Every structure is written in structure tokens, then in C-alpha cells.
């Protein structure tokens, strides 16, 4: 396939150019040409090979070897054989690491970390024979790796893992997506950082490093570890710009601060991202839980309705039939015993009928199905004989003209039951003279039941099953349940407020 040759050639050119530029940059910081190779160029090669297929490795390693040999000849430093060995020794390492390099970002980052560390150790081991400063070799390798390998991952994941479609003239219709405010903000922050690093007087030297943390934290908070990495790269530029000498200690200081802040940034970002992911998962689970409970309530209501209908239709008719038969029996039977038996049958069946009717109302408010919520609530007021108990009751119904959707069965039943429970309590305990029931439907359904009775102690009511069950049900449906009571003040009373989402 000729394609791979052309691709290899192109990659070779691209890698060569970037490698050379990066070498030049690292050389200007470190001043030692050989160590400079270990800083950025090696890290670039490591990042690229880790993210590319093995068939492109010859191009990448070819570019590196070619440049190292030519630089060695150009600068007349033949001992670079050590660096060449170090370069070649990374082949089995990356080969082996690629086997484990898949899956989640966290896993990939861990593999990257291990690879960077191992490569640094190998470099130190090999170069120990030629150079004295083993610590420096290790530090340089780790610093470069921390800065460039994750960046390679970013470029790889954003640019090479997408399926790209050519842009076409349709673009005209698309708005430009550019968060210019964010970009300007971060650019300003970056510029400020450089100014702070450059311009602070010596007395404020302790303050300067802390300024580096601000963009890292901001970016990490917003965009996770990728943002933090970007922040650390920008910081590195600021640090490099502000460096103030080429002595050995100063270079060590620069490298140490570069790697420390890169590490901080990536770890912090990763931590935040992990927390956020867990949070997301939790939220997801909660939402699922809610949904399930809601479904449960719906299922329960529908089962209740079915049973109620069945009971009503079957048992009601059969009992009527039994009673008819019993009364016929009573008429044609002339023995005492027979007549008494027939009366007993009639009474017993009447009993069953009454019990079933009570059961039916508890199972499913039949009036709700027959009359609708509004009428059912009014019927409720009548049934409980509020007026007879001396309670003046008003029902206020606020419904917009254009209700776009019907209330769901679960909402209807819940509202009805809450009304029922609240009115029951009121009639039994409150000794009220006035009561208002308000139902308002907007984005959500609002119910308020208010009386001017004597109120109660919080722990009393919630002890029973009635209101507590209602409260749980409302919460499951994603609503709010607020019960306020005032027993001692001048205007005593109880108010129950319920907000239910319209499902």
C-alpha cells in the first residue's frame, strides 16, 4: 500500500520539524545540548509513539535518530551514543505499555504516568555511565514527560479520534460557536500571570508561585484535568519567560517548579473530574430511583383501579342477585325457619355490600373517576358534612384557560387523597370554623388546605400513617410537602401546602 509510505513521510517531516523546534526550545533553557534532548524532544516522541500505531513508529524513531545523529555531528559531540541508546531502549517499553493503554481516561493517565516514570528511570540508568548528574537526567525526563505526553493525549483524543466531515457551504447557516468571553478572560489571566511573574519585586517573591495556582484551579474546576493541563502549559510559558538565570541551581529550580505545577494541575483536575463524575453518577441514580418510585405509584394506582372496577362490577351485581333471590325465597317460603334463613341471607349480603363499598372507596375514590378532580373535591366536602360540623368551607379552583395537558392519574389521586386526609383531620380534631381549599395549576400543581382551628403539635400528626404516607408519596412524585401550624398565636390555624409536578 503506497498510502502508508506517504503518511509515514508526512509524519516524518512533521515530527522532524516539531522535534527540532522543541529541541531548540529546551536547549535555550537547559544550555546543555544533550540534556535538552531528554526534555521536550524525548517527551514528544514518547507521547506520539504511545498514541500511534506501530507501523508509523519507523517514521517517528527515524526522525529522532536522524536529527540526533545530525546534531551530534553538527555540534561535534560524538558521545551522544548514550542518548541514542536511551531512545532505542524506549521501544520495548512503549510496545509493552500500549497493551495496557485503553479504556477510561483515568486508566490512560495512570499508564502515562508509569511510562513517564519508567522512561525517566531507564534514561537515568543509561546516561549514568556518561554523565555525572543522574538526578538532573531524571528530573529533566520527568518534567518533559509530564508536560508533553498528556498534551499529546489531548491532541490525539480531540483531533484524531473524531470522525471528520468536510465543511461545506451549509456552514453559512450555523452560528459561530466561540466562547469569546471565556477565552478573553483566560487570556487576560495568562497575561496577568506573566506580568506578575516578571514584575513582582524581590520582596514579594513568595507570592508569585501562588498566582500560578489560580488559573489551574479555575480551569480544573471548569474543564477537569484537560483544562488543568492547559493551565499548566500556559503557566509553564509564564515560568519560562520569568526565569532569571542559567546557573545549575536555577535550571533545577525551574524544572522542579515546572514538574511540580504540572503534577499538581493534573492531579487536582483529575480529582475534581472524578468527583464530578461520581456526582453525575449519583444524580443519575437518584433520578432513576425517582422514576422507579413514580412508576411504582402509577402501577399501584392502576392495579387499585382495576381491582375496584372488578369488585364493583362483579360483587355488586352478584349481591343484588343474591338479595333478589332471597326476597323471592322469603315470599314463597311459608315455614318459619326458611323465612328466617332468607332474611339472614338478605342481611348478610347487605353487610357484604356495605363492607365492599367501604373497601372500594378506600381502594379507589370512585367519585374521582366519575366526576373529575374538581367535582370530587366538592363531593368530599359534602360527604364529610363540614357545614354540619360548623365549618364554613370554600373551594377555590384556579386553572388557566388553555391547560395544555391533562393531569396524570397519579397526580389526581394524590391531590384527592391529600384533600381527603387533611379534611378528615380537620373535621376530627381542628375545631375550626373556616376552611379554604385552593387548587392552582400552572407549570406545577399547587394545593393548599388552610383552616383556623386550634392547630396541633408537629410530632402528633406525623406519628400517624395518614399524613406521613402522603408526605412520602409527594416526595416520591418529586413534589414538596409543607405543613405549618400555629396553635398559640393570635390567629391560630393549620396550613398544608403541596406542590406537585405535572407529570
Partner 1 sequence: MINFLKSEQNSPILDDPGQVDALYKYWRFHIMFTMYIGYAMFYFTRKSFNYAMPAMIADLGLDKADIGMMGTLFYLTYGLSKFLSGIISDRSNPRYFMGLGLIMTGIINILFGFSSSVLMLTSLWVLNALFQGWGWPSCSKLLTTWYSRSERGFWWALWNTAHNIGGALIPLLVGFVTLHYSWRYGFIIPGILAVSVGLFLCWRLRDKPVTLGLPTVGHWRKDSLELTQENEGLGLSSSQILKKYVLNNKYIWLLACSYVLVYIVRTAVNDWGNLYLTEQHNYSLITANGALSLFEAGGFIGSLVAGWGSDKVFGGNRGPMNLIFSIGIFLAVAALWLMPMTGFVLQAACFFAIGFFVFGPQMLIGMAAAECSHKDSVGAATGFVGLFAYMGAALAGYPLALVMEQYHWNGFFTVISCAAAVVGLLLLPFLKAQSPTVQEKSLRSEMPVIAE
| Residues binding partner 1 (CB under 8 A) | 3-4, 6-7, 10-11, 13-15, 17-18, 20-22, 24-25, 27-28, 31, 44, 47-48, 51-53, 56, 74, 151-152, 155-156, 158-172, 174-178, 183
CB of 47 to partner 1, least distance (A): 6
Nearest to residue 48, comparing CAs of 77, 79, 88, 19?
A: 19
Calpha distance 156→184 (Å, rounded)? 26
* Nearest distance from C-beta of residue 160 to partner 1, angstroms: 5
Helix (H) or strand (E) holding 234: helix 208-242
Residue 407 CB, shortest distance to partner 1, in Å, is: 38
With respect to partner 1, which residue has the nearer C-beta, 6 or 204?
Answer: 6
Judged by CB, which is closer to partner 1: 273, or 420? 273
Query: How far is the CA of 257 from the CAs of 143, 200, 242, 288, 393, in angstroms?
Result: 9, 18, 12, 46, 76
Alpha-carbon span 123 to 40, nearest angstrom: 14
CB of 73 to partner 1, least distance (A): 10
Residues paired with residue 70 on neighbouring β-strands, in sequence order? none
Nearest-5° Cα angle at 44, 41 to 45: 90
In whole angstroms, the minimum distance from the beta carbon of 243 to partner 1 comes to 11
Rounded CA-CA distance 70/347 in Å is 113
Q: How far is the CB of 57 from partner 1 (least distance, A)?
A: 11
- How many other C-beta atoms lie within 10 A of the C-beta of residue 197? 21
Strands (E), 303-412: 392-398
d(CA 13, CA 15): 6
Residue number with CB closer to partner 1 (174 or 490): 174
Nearer to partner 1, 6 or 396 (CB): 6
DSSP single-letter state for residue 104: S
166 or 201: whose CB is closer to partner 1? 166
Closest approach of partner 1 to the CB of residue 15, in Å? 7
Q: Would you say 21 or 403 has its CB closer to partner 1?
A: 21
Grid coordinates representing 151 are: 498534551
How are strands ordered across the β-sheet holding 392-398?
392-398, 434-441, 444-451, 493-501, 480-486
Closest to partner 1 by CB, 14 or 117: 14
Amino acid at each position: 500500500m503506497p498510502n502508508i509510505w506517504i503518511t509515514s513521510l508526512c509524519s516524518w517531516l512533521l515530527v522532524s520539524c516539531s522535534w527540532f523546534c522543541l529541541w531548540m526550545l529546551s536547549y535555550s533553557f537547559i544550555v546543555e545540548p544533550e540534556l535538552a534532548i531528554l526534555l521536550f524532544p524525548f517527551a514528544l516522541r514518547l507521547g506520539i509513539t504511545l498514541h500511534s500505531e506501530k507501523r508509523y513508529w519507523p517514521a517517528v524513531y527515524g526522525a529522532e535518530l536522524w536529527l540526533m545523529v545530525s546534531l551530534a555531528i553538527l555540534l561535534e559531540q560524538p558521545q551522544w551514543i548514550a542518548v541514542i541508546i536511551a531512545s532505542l531502549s524506549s521501544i520495548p517499553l512503549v510496545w509493552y505499555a500500549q497493551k495496557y493503554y485503553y479504556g477510561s481516561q483515568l486508566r490512560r493517565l495512570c499508564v502515562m504516568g508509569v511510562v513517564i516514570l519508567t522512561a525517566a528511570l531507564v534514561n537515568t540508568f543509561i546516561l549514568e555511565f556518561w554523565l555525572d548528574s543522574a538526578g538532573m537526567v531524571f528530573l529533566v525526563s520527568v518534567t518533559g514527560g509530564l508536560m508533553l505526553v498528556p498534551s499529546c493525549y489531548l491532541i490525539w483524543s480531540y483531533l484524531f479520534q473524531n470522525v471528520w466531515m468536510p465543511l461545506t457551504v451549509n456552514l453559512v447557516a450555523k452560528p459561530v460557536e466561540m466562547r469569546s468571553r471565556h477565552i478573553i478572560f483566560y487570556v487576560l489571566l495568562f497575561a496577568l500571570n506573566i506580568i506578575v511573574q516578571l514584575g513582582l519585586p524581590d520582596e514579594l517573591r513568595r507570592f508569585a508561585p501562588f498566582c500560578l495556582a489560580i488559573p489551574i484551579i479555575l480551569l480544573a474546576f471548569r474543564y477537569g484535568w484537560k483544562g488543568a493541563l492547559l493551565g499548566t502549559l500556559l503557566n509553564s510559558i509564564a515560568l519560562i519567560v520569568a526565569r532569571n538565570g542559567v546557573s545549575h541551581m536555577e535550571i533545577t529550580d525551574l524544572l522542579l517548579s515546572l514538574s511540580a505545577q504540572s503534577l499538581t494541575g493534573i492531579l487536582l483536575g483529575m480529582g475534581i473530574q472524578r468527583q464530578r463524575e461520581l456526582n453525575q453518577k449519583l444524580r443519575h441514580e437518584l433520578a432513576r430511583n425517582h422514576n422507579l418510585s413514580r412508576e411504582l405509584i402509577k402501577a399501584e394506582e392502576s392495579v387499585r383501579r382495576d381491582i375496584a372496577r372488578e369488585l364493583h362490577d362483579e360483587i355488586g351485581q352478584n349481591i343484588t342477585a343474591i338479595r333478589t333471590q332471597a326476597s323471592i325465597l322469603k315470599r314463597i317460603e311459608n315455614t318459619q325457619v326458611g323465612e328466617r334463613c332468607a332474611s339472614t341471607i338478605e342481611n348478610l349480603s347487605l353487610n357484604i355490600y356495605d363492607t365492599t363499598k367501604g373497601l372500594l372507596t378506600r381502594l379507589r375514590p370512585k367519585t374521582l373517576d366519575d366526576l373529575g378532580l374538581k367535582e370530587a373535591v366538592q363531593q368530599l366536602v359534602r360527604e364529610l358534612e363540614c357545614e354540619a360540623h360548623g365549618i364554613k368551607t370554600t373551594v377555590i379552583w384556579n386553572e388557566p384557560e388553555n391547560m395544555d395537558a391533562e393531569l396524570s392519574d397519579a397526580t389526581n389521586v394524590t391531590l384527592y387523597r391529600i384533600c381527603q386526609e387533611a379534611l378528615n383531620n380537620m373535621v376530627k380534631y381542628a375545631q375550626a370554623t373556616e376552611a379554604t381549599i385552593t387548587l392552582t395549576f400552572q407549570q406545577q400543581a399547587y394545593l393548599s388546605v388552610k383552616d383556623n382551628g386550634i392547630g396541633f403539635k408537629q410530632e402528633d400528626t406525623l406519628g400517624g400513617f395518614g399524613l406521613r404516607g402522603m408526605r412520602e408519596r409527594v416526595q416520591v412524585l418529586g413534589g414538596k410537602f409543607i405543613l405549618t401550624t400555629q396553635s398559640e398565636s393570635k390567629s391560630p390555624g393549620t396550613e398544608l401546602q403541596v406542590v406537585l409536578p405535572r407529570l
